[in-house]
Structure 1
């Protein structure tokens, strides 16, 4: 009897040494987006730029404010235009406040300045890392008459890993927008 019990114990021990069953983590779909074709946005406002035909531009709350809507991605770039009267520093501080209010959740904020003196286009491009509500923000100005901001938001809970492909796609569009941005005369 003792031999049988010992034999069963050894057999059970050997049988249990197989691979441990682990549940597979849930995954997100691989997202692929079309190659962008750009078109010029031209309105009665004092600026123009190129944007992707994958997006739709909609009027927003005030004149010369727009939403660049990426419906398939549940994303919007909020474009706000403000004329500069005597309050350039106020606009600049507000744009920076909008970026740095995300420091609570951001793991890093990468800032790149840009200048196109021939077009009188100057500004900063901010890329926010981590679980922030806004992933990318920028402002464009001529520093005398015009000030424009752009803020990217997704209509979903911030999940950096899941949103990374969409953020990268829209980031390229935003950089193209800035590269083609012009003030009208």
Structure 2
């Protein structure tokens, strides 16, 4: 009787109905951000715009170079001003070069041109899809004297799905920045 009980117990333990244990994939935290409230920034370099109060503007080491920092997202928009001195074409080519260097990793690049002739604000906005190092880039110019370029970078490995909420939030901010951009 005792032997039958041991064999029955061994039989049940060998053929139990438990599923095989499978490791769970690591997940990313879903992030939600506050509704943006905008404030005015006026640069001594001759331009002004509105930016989100969720961000901070920091001066870089060079004059007229700025960081629009999103510390909770570990993201920075590198914003740079250049005076145009018979080198407008060079600035445009350099901006496009910065965008198209990411074609190695980007799955697509959406380009949107914008024009606000009443404020003399013209430029292009680039959205890079896929695991590229920079997700958003743009340039703003008056086409004669001023040129501003900006690039978004995250301080993390490019993971398009995980970064999508942050990229969308910052994209709205940058489009608002462009819509409110003015030369002094």
TM > 0.5 fold call: yes
Uncovered stretches (5+) of structure 2, i.e. residues with no partner: 1-7
CA distance in 2, matches of 1:116, 1:168: 23
* TM-score normalised to structure 2 length: 0.89
Corresponding residue for 2:50? 50
Given the alignment of the two structures, is residue 81 of structure 1 paired with residue 81 of structure 2, yes or no?
yes
Given the alignment of the two structures, is residue 62 of structure 1 paired with residue 58 of structure 2, yes or no?
no
Moved over 3 A (4+): 15-22
**Secondary structure of the structure 1 residue equivalent to 2:108:** strand
CA distance in 1, matches of 2:100, 2:16: 54
CA distance in 2, matches of 1:106, 1:170: 18
Corresponding residue for 1:4? none
CA distance in 2, matches of 1:75, 1:26: 22
CA distance in 2, matches of 1:118, 1:16: 76
**Secondary structure of the structure 2 residue equivalent to 1:22:** coil
Task: Give, in angstroms, the shift of residue 62 of structure 1.
Answer: 1.7
CA distance in 1, matches of 2:97, 2:16: 59
Corresponding residue for 1:147? 147
Uncovered stretches (5+) of structure 1, i.e. residues with no partner: 1-7
**1:1-185 pair list within 5 angstroms:** 21-184=21-184
**Secondary structure of the structure 2 residue equivalent to 1:119:** coil
> How large is the RMSD of aligned CA atoms in angstroms?
1.9
Task: Give, in angstroms, the shift of residue 163 of structure 1.
Answer: 0.8
* TM-score normalised to structure 1 length: 0.89
